[in-house]
């Protein structure tokens, strides 16, 4: 949870990526925590998640950042303080909402839902509030993390294929994003999407 | 056979008597002004002379320049023939003939204006413009009067319509129609038939370039129009239709004379209005007719 | 088993295209695969399988009502693609062809997916596979468009994933075994927990609505359509949007089964009318004729939602309109592609007098314009009239009136732009037109055929299609 | 049986004509004439025999069985379509020939036949769906005809305005027909007086058809379209196409139950269209715009008649209603005839001088004697002056209104003002046509082009003569037309079945004839008399002004100035005046422009509002990705709120 606030608060790109990575790791561990008896499949999933969310993608992003040697400051469209407050508000809202929602007994006390909603909100907030392409990718990552977190609710019931597919798609998505970022950098000599306003009404 | 003879007689009456009226009017004006004035039959002499004269034709004029007056004259005559003469009634009467009468006069107006504009002279243009524009208001008044009559008499053919009811309605109608008469025949206060400031005229300016027989046709037509309107006015106000023959004839002739004298008196005591006030006057006439209409409507409803 | 071929054939073709060495001959993969796909799709249209061959995947009535249209559109675009890619010989087309074929396969999968997760995966895959198509032109503008497409679309798709989870949780909470096939969900019906279903509906509507391009989630559309080649535009407008629409319909069926149909219909109605209005407003002052097409597509998505919201006859008309829209949009995008090539410009400030430069394409474009603005005797006229009629019949009189006003505004905008570029005197921009572009039969026939199809659909709707749509309506609302 | 043959033949031949048009002018002309002749035959057959032809196809078109039906009402209009269509085809041969218009002549021919065909189909279709199809096809082909000369910017603008307005009307009809279909459950059209719940639909129809008919507030598209179209197109648009709107109204007012206020509303609309249309016409200085506005006026006259008919039908006592309605229907024919004649005349003038600006013409009767004569004839006819046909129909309308008044019918409250309005209209129209005819044809040429004008060829002359002949026929033998006329009357309102012509009509005919003869005779007599007296040509006297120039003539503007002043409250003339100043004044001028008031004062502001809304929306989309995501979230929130509201309710 706290990671979200950090993500909102941080003013530098590397730390933002680090946050995302860390969150990915945590998510990877999650299933193991939730699962009481360890099944091979779960292990595989967890490992894959950790690898993907925690290692590959952050590495990718760092590469993109390095290749497009850009200064590491984020130019927020929504200032840090307001976004922090908004994030906090969102988090509270998420908790309240999670309380209001009818949950299965075994999920009652766990903060899974709240956390998921919170990081979804954070992700959206980052997407709206940050102008750097990479920061937006991070926001997107955090969004996906939140969703994945929510997906864990269903890890018993839903066949894991869904999860696998999600993981796959996510990675592919970000991978492609990375490429695009790369290309944009080549095309625009910057990763600031504020400059991406040729196409307009 | 009889009918044909009667028709010819009718024709003769209209053709022969019409030119009297301008003469009478002029006499009245002269009398008021204390002059001797031209003889009553002056117009007859003029017409006769004009009929024999040659014509000077504008180089711009087309055959319409001659045809126009002819058509106008026929139109007025035809309109006149539709008008019943007291108990004699009319030789041709059918439902809706009143509309035909109104539109025959419109035809006459169209042809006069056409003939006037043949010459491309600015003066005639001016006159034609005034003629057709003022006609818009006059037409409204006339139609309203027609409606009033047909409401009063519950009929739509002239011979039956001209059986008026006494009362305020009749008075209003009389005044309204009289005003229209003055306007349609271009008398003071709308126009001054014997001024020679072309700019100030409507009717006389229309005929500036006419001469000879066409001019004769125009003048005679104008006279007939005057007679027509006064006969219409008289019958719209006095219940001529109901009276016995002699009395009716007397009433009719007397009425026409009265109208003519009235026109003469108006001409001698009133000055010509400024053109921008003419619409006001015509509108007043129209409104008078509207009030008459309302009264008739009430009467019909009650 | 044949159903699976619908997916496999294009994917195999895509692989083949990816491996094929020669740029010149590679485009022929498109019509080949397209033809095979259409044959299959129509064979299945006439001989629908009695039972879906797998609970997760099957050529069910809904797929049957939609997929052939997409396949037909693809065939048209593929036929156009061959001369087009020859024209663009300077660009390597390996990725393009492969991506296009893959997109076709995945679209088929998405249409046939009868499982929430599978549907989502397929949709996401379609999105990704169309990314290389978008930046085919390899210009900065193209990249920008692609970037926006990816991020906006991606966010939308993420939301729809969240929505899928919510729906799953709804069934779990309702005591379901966590079977996320639509059949199972509908069977569970009111057993689903209502709040979760409603949340799911919101998220899924917005998510898939983003892919459909419903306002206010339409923002990626003009950029993408404006920068992509004509073929891709046509496929996006006629294919991908259809996929998303199918998804919305499937979800809506579940929500309806869960007893929240009224709410779902109302939201769908409002968002549909809103999209129509927004699109109309944008059209009124559009200047770029490819972006104009994008907004027209937004408008038609609105029309689809409006029809679907009415249910019953309206839904039937919406299926009808899906077909008409695919054909007409295809014709429009392809002829617009011709104009774009010939004119060397894209806005009404640069382009005019195309009726002199490329008379055939211009005439085609005008005809397409009248078709898309619901002028008889083209197909859209009949479907939209039917939608209006059912709106009146179901007592949505004011909705119908609003709808008609929006149509009118859209008509103003469209005619303004189209006549501006078609009539008048050619501009200097047209002088430096692409020298290689000639109005050959190859670039004229495909749009003509598509237009004729739209005409035929309107004048003489095949009974098999009517029957298919009826079946689809019955599948989605089994109660009546 | 033969009816089928005739109509099928007509349709096939016209299709062939449309196809042959671009390439083979002669074949096209032959085919078009054959087609129109067949239509005319069918129409007269239906009118003469009073037989109603009804045919249903075995096949379905657009999922509906084709249902054609030709009853007296549609036949009445079909006859007009055929006559003007044929005449226009001949006229186009001379007016829009290949050698002068290589680029557009072929297109023009093709679209012409298409238009005739679609007009015919509109009249024949008895199924809502197909009616709409024919209707829109007719609107589109008319659009392509109007924009034949599309290289001219103002033509394009006028065409677009027409198309936009017409589409607005069409969408109104979408609503009308789908409401009809939704309430009755089928697209089939036919008498449905037994559905009282359908009555309110009349208002929708009034809008949808009213736009096409050019009723006063909805006429915005009409003047510019009719002015900028090629003249033969203007002729058919003004003479026939706008009548289609009227056809729709009359048709459905006969089939549907009428709401209570219908007759009153129609009378009011008619009075407004008549008076204001005439006022606008008088104010115009563009010959074809003048004619166009005059169409609005005449539609008003027709509407007055139809409104009285509605009131009569609604109030049971049908004698006067029948008269007024008869007048309206007859005026449909008459206006079609003389308005086409006048537009042909205007076309010949335009052809000769290359301008529509009346103040550049003058004295054309010398160069164009035929055109001048025919135009004068048309002017007299359209001013509803005896002894021509315009008077017959307006007289019938008057008669109906007067009878209503005389009978003290309770609805006379409405008919009295209408009558007065009709009178004013007549006077205004007369003024307008005195202006049009005289400023163009009389006096001295105002410009060189006017001086070097040339008469049109026989291809253009013949149709005008034909139309004039048709006018004369109706004018002098109205009683002969009555049997045809009373068929549609009976078809419209079965209570009016059984029609001996109203007695006065039988009288009016001979009177008109006599009048015509006497007028001619007198004119000749006067001419002869003048000749015998001797006749000298001289300069216009002009009160002795020595050197009058053509520029000194009264212009159309000054001619109309008085009346325009009275109607300034609606005409809102815009004047720019530069007085001559100083000792040696520089050139002074006075420009007067009569705007299309409704368009500029009512539609303009509304469209500005809409456009600013559009601009606002566009400003929201400036390419900032974060904004886009924000909109997405906003959409999410909005839908969420909607769902919450919905589920709470």
Q: Which of C128, C304, C300, C329 has the alpha carbon at shortest distance from C225?
A: C329
| Contact predicate A148/A46, CB 8 Å | no
**Can you read off the two tokens belonging to residue D79?**
């006859």
- Domain tally, chain D: 2
Residues of chain A with Cβ-Cβ distance to C120 below 8 Å are 165
Question: B18-37 b/e with 16+ CB inside 10 Å = b?
Answer: bbbbbbbbbbbbeeeeeeeb
The long-range contacts involving A100-108, CB below 8 angstroms and separated by at least 24 positions, are A101/C195, A101/C196, A101/C199, A102/C173, A102/C193, A102/C195, A102/C196, A103/C173, A104/C172, A104/C173, A107/A153
Q: Which residue of A has its CA nearest to C123?
A: A169
Q: Which of D484, D512, D529 is the last residue of a domain?
A: D529
Interface test with D, best of C209, C376, C412 (most D CBs within 10 A): C376
The beta-carbon neighbor of A183 closest among C118, C143, C145 is: C143
> D–B contact (≥3 CB pairs within 8 Å)?
yes
Write the DSSP symbol of residue D585: P
The beta-carbon neighbor of D156 closest among C151, C391, C419 is: C419
Query: Pairing between strand D535-538 and B55-58?
Result: parallel
The torsion region of residue C460 among left (phi > 0), alpha (psi -120 to 50) and beta comes to: beta
Alpha-carbon torsion, ordered C60, C63, C65, C67, to 10 deg: -140
- Whether residue D160 lies within 8 A of chain C, CB to CB, comes out as yes
Q: Is D399 exposed, middle or buried (0-12, 13-18, 19+ CB in 10 A)?
A: buried
Query: Pairing between strand D53-61 and D64-70?
Result: antiparallel
| Contact predicate D439/D556, CB 8 Å | yes
Residues of chain D with Cβ-Cβ distance to C203 below 8 Å are 636
| Contact predicate C415/C373, CB 8 Å | yes
With a cut of 60, say whether residue D1 has pLDDT above it.
no
Residues of chain B with Cβ-Cβ distance to D522 below 8 Å are 70-71, 73-74
Q: Which residue of D has its CA nearest to B287?
A: D420
DSSP C250-279: HHHHHHIIIIIHHHHHHHHHHHHHHHHHHH
Count other C-beta atoms under 10 Å from residue B194's C-beta: 11
Count other C-beta atoms under 10 Å from residue C470's C-beta: 14
**Residue ranges of B 80-139 with Cβ closer than 8 A to chain D:** 92, 94-100, 102-104, 106-107, 109-110, 113-114, 117-126, 128-130, 132-136, 138-139
Predicted TM-score of the model (pTM)? 0.94
Residue D96 lies in a domain: no
Q: How confident is the model at residue D594 (pLDDT cuts 50, 70, 90)?
A: confident
- State residue C76's pLDDT score: 94
Contact across the interface for A197 and D621, Cβ inside 8 Å: no
Name which of B158-167, C375-384, D237-246 the model is least confident about. Answer: B158-167
**Can you read off the two tokens belonging to residue C78?**
């593929």
Residues of chain B with Cβ-Cβ distance to D420 below 8 Å are 140, 143-144, 147
Write the DSSP symbol of residue B238: S
Percentage of the residues of chain D whose pLDDT score is greater than 90: 65
- State residue C480's pLDDT score: 45
Q: Which residue of D has its CA nearest to C145?
A: D623
- Whether residue D609 lies within 8 A of chain C, CB to CB, comes out as no
Q: Which residue of D has its CA nearest to B132?
A: D431
- State residue A194's pLDDT score: 64
Interface test with C, best of A106, A156, A158, A161 (most C CBs within 10 A): A158
DSSP C83-127: HHHHHTTTS--HHHHHHHHHHHHHHHHHHHB-BHHHHHHHHHHHH
Query: Pairing between strand D589-593 and D535-538?
Result: unpaired
D524 with D616, same domain: the answer is no
Contact across the interface for A201 and D621, Cβ inside 8 Å: yes
| Contact predicate D33/D89, CB 8 Å | yes
Q: Provide the 3-class DSSP secondary structure of residue B80.
A: helix
Beta bridge partners of D357: D286
* Mean pLDDT taken over chain B: 88
Q: How confident is the model at residue B190 (pLDDT cuts 50, 70, 90)?
A: confident
- Whether residue C359 lies within 8 A of chain D, CB to CB, comes out as no
Write the DSSP symbol of residue D384: T
Count other C-beta atoms under 10 Å from residue D226's C-beta: 30
Name which of B20-29, B196-205, C376-385, D505-514 the model is least confident about. Answer: B196-205
Interface test with D, best of C215, C219, C302, C367 (most D CBs within 10 A): C219
Q: Provide the 3-class DSSP secondary structure of residue C227.
A: helix
Residue D88 lies in a domain: no
Q: What is the pLDDT of residues D76-109, one digit of tens each?
A: 999 999 999 999 999 999 999 999 898 899 999 9
The H or E element spanning position B32 is helix B20-33
Contacts of D68 (CB under 8 A, 6+ apart): D7, D53, D54, D55, D56, D57, D124, D125, D126
The H or E element spanning position D94 is helix D72-95
- Whether residue A88 lies within 8 A of chain C, CB to CB, comes out as no
Contact across the interface for B53 and D430, Cβ inside 8 Å: no
- Reported residue count of chain D is 649
Mean pLDDT across the stretch D301-313? Answer: 93
Residues of chain C with Cβ-Cβ distance to A150 below 8 Å are 162, 165-166, 169
- Reported residue count of chain B is 302
D524 with D611, same domain: the answer is no
Q: How confident is the model at residue B302 (pLDDT cuts 50, 70, 90)?
A: very low
Q: What is the 3-state secondary structure (H, E, C) of D391-410?
A: HHHHHHHHHHHHHHHHCCCC
- State residue B290's pLDDT score: 94
Contact across the interface for D621 and A127, Cβ inside 8 Å: no
| Inter-chain CB pairs, C–D, below 8 Å | 152
- D601 to chain A nearest CA, in Å? 30
Mean pLDDT per 10-residue interval, chain C, length 480 residues: 87 92 89 94 90 84 93 94 88 90 94 90 88 84 85 88 88 80 87 89 94 91 90 91 94 91 92 96 92 95 95 93 95 92 84 86 94 91 95 93 96 94 75 65 91 92 92 80
Q: What is the pLDDT of residues C8-37, one digit of tens each?
A: 999 999 999 999 888 888 999 999 999 999
Q: Which residue of A has its CA nearest to D625?
A: A193
| Contact predicate B123/B205, CB 8 Å | yes
Q: What is the pLDDT of residues D253-272, one digit of tens each?
A: 999 999 988 999 999 999 99
D468 with D355, same domain: the answer is yes
Cα separation values, D383 from B111, C51, C373, D395, Å: 12, 77, 42, 12
Q: Which of C285, C291, C286, C296 has the alpha carbon at shortest distance from C340?
A: C291
- Whether residue C219 lies within 8 A of chain A, CB to CB, comes out as no
Interface test with D, best of C210, C267, C421, C470 (most D CBs within 10 A): C267
Contacts of B123 (CB under 8 A, 6+ apart): B198, B199, B205, B208, D542, D543
Partners of chain B (3+ Cβ pairs below 8 A): D
Q: Is D582 exposed, middle or buried (0-12, 13-18, 19+ CB in 10 A)?
A: exposed
Segments of chain A with pLDDT less than 50: none
CA–CA separation, D592 and D565 (whole Å): 12
Residues of chain C with Cβ-Cβ distance to A187 below 8 Å are 140, 143
CA–CA separation, D437 and D338 (whole Å): 14
| Contact predicate C27/C85, CB 8 Å | yes
Q: How confident is the model at residue B90 (pLDDT cuts 50, 70, 90)?
A: confident
Contacts of C364 (CB under 8 A, 6+ apart): C331, C335, C338, C444, C447, C448, C451
The torsion region of residue D62 among left (phi > 0), alpha (psi -120 to 50) and beta comes to: left
D641: containing domain: 604-648
Mean pLDDT across the stretch B238-264? Answer: 89
D616 with D510, same domain: the answer is no
Contact across the interface for B57 and D535, Cβ inside 8 Å: yes
Q: What are phi and psi of B96, to 5 degrees?
A: 90, 5
CA–CA separation, C291 and C311 (whole Å): 31
The beta-carbon neighbor of D541 closest among B117, B147, B209 is: B209
- State residue A168's pLDDT score: 59
Cα separation values, A135 from A7, A56, A180, B46, C144, Å: 10, 17, 14, 108, 17
Q: What are phi and psi of D55, to 5 degrees?
A: -145, 130
- State residue D554's pLDDT score: 87
DSSP D412-478: HHHHHHHHHHHHHHHHHHHHHHHHHHHHHHSSS-SSHHHHT-----HHHHHHHHHHHHHHHHHHH-H
CA–CA separation, C279 and C299 (whole Å): 5
Q: List alpha helices for D150-217, DSSP H.
A: 153-184, 201-213
Contacts of D215 (CB under 8 A, 6+ apart): D269, D273, D296, D299, D300, D303
How many contiguous H segments (helices) and E segments (strands) does chain B have? 12, 1
Q: Which residue of D has its CA nearest to C214?
A: D635
């Amino acid at each position: 949870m706290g990671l979200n606030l950090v993500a909102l608060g941080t003013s530098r790109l590397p730390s933002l990526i680090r946050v995302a990575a860390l969150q990915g790791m945590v998510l990877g561990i999650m299933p193991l925590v939730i699962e009481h008896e360890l099944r091979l499949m779960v292990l595989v999933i967890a490992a894959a998640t950790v690898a993907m969310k925690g290692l590959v993608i952050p590495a990718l992003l760092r590469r993109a950042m390095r290749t497009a040697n850009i200064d590491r400051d984020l130019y927020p469209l929504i200032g840090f303080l307001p976004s922090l407050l908004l994030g906090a508000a969102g988090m509270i809202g998420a908790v309240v909402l999670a309380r209001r929602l009818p949950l299965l007994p075994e999920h009652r006390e766990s903060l899974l839902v709240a956390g998921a909603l919170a990081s979804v909100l954070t992700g959206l907030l980052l997407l709206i509030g940050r102008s750097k392409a990479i920061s937006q990718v991070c926001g997107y990552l955090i969004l996906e993390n939140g969703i994945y977190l929510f997906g864990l609710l269903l890890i018993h019931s839903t066949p894991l294929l869904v999860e696998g597919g999600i993981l796959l798609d996510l990675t592919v998505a970000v991978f492609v994003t990375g490429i695009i970022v790369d290309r944009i950098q080549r095309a625009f000599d910057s990763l600031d999407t504020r400059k991406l306003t040729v196409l307009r009404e | 056979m009889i009918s044909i003879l009667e028709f010819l007689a009718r024709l003769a009456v209209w053709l022969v008597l019409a030119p009297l009226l301008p003469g009478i009017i002029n006499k009245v004006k002269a009398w008021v002004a204390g002059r001797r004035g031209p003889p009553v039959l002056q117009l007859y002499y003029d017409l006769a002379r004009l009929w024999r004269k040659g014509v000077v034709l504008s180089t711009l004029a087309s055959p319409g320049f001659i045809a126009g007056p002819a058509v106008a004259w026929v139109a007025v005559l035809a309109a006149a023939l539709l008008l019943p003469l007291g108990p004699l009634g009319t030789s041709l009467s059918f439902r809706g003939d009143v509309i035909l009468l109104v539109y025959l006069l419109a035809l006459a107006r169209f042809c006069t204006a056409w003939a006037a504009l043949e010459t491309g002279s600015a003066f005639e243009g001016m006159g034609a413009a005034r003629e057709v524009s003022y006609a818009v208001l006059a037409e409204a008044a006339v139609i309203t009067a027609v409606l009033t009559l047909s409401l009063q008499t519950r009929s739509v053919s002239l011979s039956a319509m001209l059986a008026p009811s006494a009362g305020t309605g009749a008075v209003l109608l009389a005044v309204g129609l009289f005003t229209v008469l003055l306007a349609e025949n271009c008398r003071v206060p709308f126009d001054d038939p014997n001024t020679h400031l072309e700019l100030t005229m409507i009717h006389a300016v229309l005929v500036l370039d006419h001469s000879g027989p066409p001019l004769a046709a125009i003048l005679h037509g104008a006279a007939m129009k005057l007679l027509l309107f006064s006969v219409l006015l008289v019958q719209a106000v006095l219940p001529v239709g109901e009276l016995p023959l002699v009395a009716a004839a007397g009433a009719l002739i007397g009425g026409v004379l009265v109208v003519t004298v009235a026109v003469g008196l108006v001409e001698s005591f009133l000055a010509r209005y400024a053109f921008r006030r003419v619409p006001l006057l015509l509108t007043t006439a129209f409104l008078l007719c509207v009030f008459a209409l309302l009264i008739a409507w009430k009467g019909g409803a009650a | 088993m044949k159903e699976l071929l619908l997916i496999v054939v294009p994917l195999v073709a895509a692989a083949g295209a990816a491996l094929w060495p020669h740029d010149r001959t590679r485009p022929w993969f498109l019509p080949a695969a397209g033809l095979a796909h259409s044959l299959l799709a129509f064979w299945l249209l006439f001989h629908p399988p009695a039972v879906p061959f797998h609970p997760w995947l099957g050529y069910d009535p809904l797929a049957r009502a939609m997929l052939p249209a997409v396949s037909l559109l693809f065939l048209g675009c593929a036929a156009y693609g061959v001369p087009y890619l020859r024209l663009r010989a300077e660009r390597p087309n390996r990725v393009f062809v492969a991506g296009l074929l893959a997109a076709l396969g995945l679209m088929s999968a998405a249409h046939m997916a009868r499982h929430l997760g599978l549907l989502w995966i397929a949709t996401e895959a379609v999105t990704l596979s169309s990314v290389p198509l978008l930046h085919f032109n390899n210009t900065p503008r193209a990249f920008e468009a692609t970037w926006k497409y990816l991020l906006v679309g991606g966010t939308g798709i993420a939301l729809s994933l969240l929505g899928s989870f919510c729906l799953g949780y709804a069934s779990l909470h309702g005591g379901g075994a966590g079977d996320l096939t639509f059949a199972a969900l509908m069977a569970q019906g009111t057993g689903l927990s209502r709040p979760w279903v409603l949340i799911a509906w919101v998220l899924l509507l917005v998510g898939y609505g983003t892919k459909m391009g419903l306002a206010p989630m339409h923002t990626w559309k003009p950029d993408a359509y404006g920068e992509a080649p004509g073929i891709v535009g046509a496929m996006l407008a006629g294919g991908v949007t259809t996929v998303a629409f199918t998804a919305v319909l499937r979800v809506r069926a579940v929500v309806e089964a869960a007893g929240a149909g009224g709410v779902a219909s109302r939201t769908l109605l409002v968002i549909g009318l809103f999209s129509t209005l927004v699109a109309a407003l944008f059209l009124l002052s559009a200047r770029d004729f490819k972006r104009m097409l994008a907004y027209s597509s937004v408008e038609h998505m609105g029309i689809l939602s409006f029809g679907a919201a009415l249910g019953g006859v309206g839904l039937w008309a919406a299926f009808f309109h899906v077909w008409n829209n695919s054909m007409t949009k295809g014709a429009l995008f392809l002829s617009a592609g011709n104009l774009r090539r010939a004119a060397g410009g894209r806005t009404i400030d640069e382009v005019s007098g195309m009726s002199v430069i490329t008379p055939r394409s211009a005439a085609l474009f005008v005809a397409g314009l009248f078709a898309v603005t619901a002028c008889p005797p083209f197909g859209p006229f009949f479907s939209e009239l039917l939608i209006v009629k059912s709106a009146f019949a179901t007592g949505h009189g004011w909705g119908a009136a609003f709808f008609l006003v929006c149509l009118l505004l859209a008509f103003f905008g469209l005619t303004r732009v189209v006549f501006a570029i078609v009539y008048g005197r050619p501009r200097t921009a047209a002088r430096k037109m692409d020298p290689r572009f000639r109005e050959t039969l190859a670039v004229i026939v495909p749009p003509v055929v598509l237009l004729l199809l739209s005409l035929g659909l309107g004048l003489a709707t095949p009974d098999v299609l009517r029957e298919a749509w009826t079946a689809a309506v019955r599948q989605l609302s089994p109660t009546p | 049986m033969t009816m089928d043959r005739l109509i099928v033949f007509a349709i096939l031949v016209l299709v062939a004509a449309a196809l042959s048009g671009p390439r083979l002018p002669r074949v096209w002309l032959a085919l078009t004439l054959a087609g129109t002749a067949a239509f005319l035959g069918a129409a007269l057959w239906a009118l003469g025999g009073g037989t109603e032809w009804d045919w249903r196809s075995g096949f379905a078109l657009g999922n509906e069985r084709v249902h054609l039906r030709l009853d007296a009402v549609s036949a009445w209009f079909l006859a007009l379509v055929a006559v003007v269509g044929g005449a226009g085809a001949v006229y186009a041969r001379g007016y829009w020939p290949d050698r002068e218009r290589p680029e557009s002549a072929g297109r023009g021919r093709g679209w012409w036949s298409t238009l005739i065909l679609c007009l015919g189909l509109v009249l024949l279709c008895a199924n809502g769906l197909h009616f709409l199809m024919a209707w829109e096809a007719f609107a589109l082909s008319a659009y392509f005809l109007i924009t034949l000369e599309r290289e001219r910017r103002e033509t394009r603008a006028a065409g677009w305005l027409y198309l936009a307005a017409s589409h607005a009307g069409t969408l109104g009809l979408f609503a009308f027909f789908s409401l009809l279909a939704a309430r009755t459950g089928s697209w089939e059209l036919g008498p449905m007086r037994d559905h009282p719940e359908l009555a309110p639909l009349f208002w929708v129809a009034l809008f949808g058809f009213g736009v096409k008919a050019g009723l006063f507030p909805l006429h915005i598209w009409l003047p510019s379209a009719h002015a900028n179209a090629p003249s033969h197109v203007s002729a058919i648009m003004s003479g026939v196409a706008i009548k289609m709107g009227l056809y729709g109204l009359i048709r459905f007012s006969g089939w549907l139950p009428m709401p209570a206020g219908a007759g009153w509303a129609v009378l009011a609309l008619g009075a407004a269209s008549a008076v204001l249309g005439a006022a606008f016409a008088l104010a115009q200085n563009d010959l074809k715009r003048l004619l166009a506005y005059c169409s609005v006026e005449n539609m008003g006259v027709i509407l007055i008649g139809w409104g009285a008919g509605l009131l009569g039908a609604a109030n049971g006592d049908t004698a006067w209603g029948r008269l007024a309605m008869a007048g309206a229907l007859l005026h449909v024919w008459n206006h079609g005839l003389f308005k086409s004649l006048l537009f042909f005349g205007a076309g010949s003038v335009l052809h000769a001088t290359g301008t529509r600006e009346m103040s550049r013409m003058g004295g054309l009767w010398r160069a164009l004697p035929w055109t001048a004569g025919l135009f004068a004839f048309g002017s007299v006819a359209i001013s509803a002056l005896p002894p021509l046909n315009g008077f017959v129909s307006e007289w019938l309308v008057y008669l109906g209104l007067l009878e209503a008044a005389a009978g003290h019918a309770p609805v006379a409250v409405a008919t009295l003002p209408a009558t007065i309005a009709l009178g004013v209209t007549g006077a205004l129209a007369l003024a307008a046509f005195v202006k049009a005819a005289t400023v163009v044809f009389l006096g001295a040429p105002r410009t060189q082009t006017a001086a070097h004008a040339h008469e049109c060829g026989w291809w253009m002359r013949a149709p005008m003569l034909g139309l004039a002949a048709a006018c004369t026929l109706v004018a002098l033998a109205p009683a002969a037309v009555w049997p045809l006329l009373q068929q549609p009357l009976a078809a419209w309102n079965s209570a009016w079945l059984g029609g001996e012509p109203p007695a006065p009509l039988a009288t009016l005919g001979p009177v008109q004839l006599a009048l015509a003869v006497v007028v001619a005779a007198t004119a000749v007599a006067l001419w002869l008399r003048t000749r015998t007296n001797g006749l000298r040509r001289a300069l216009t006297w002009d009160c002795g002004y020595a050197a009058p120039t053509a520029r000194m003539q009264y212009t159309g503007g000054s001619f109309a100035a008085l009346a325009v002043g009275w109607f300034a409250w609606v005409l809102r003339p815009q004047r720019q005046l530069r007085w001559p100043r100083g000792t040696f004044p520089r050139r002074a001028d006075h420009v007067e422009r009569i705007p299309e008031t409704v368009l500029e004062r009512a539609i303009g502001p509304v469209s500005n509002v809409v456009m600013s809304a559009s601009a606002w929306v566009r400003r929201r989309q400036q390419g900032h990705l974060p904004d886009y995501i924000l909109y997405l979230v906003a959409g999410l929130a909005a839908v969420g709120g909607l769902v919450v509201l919905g589920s709470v309710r």
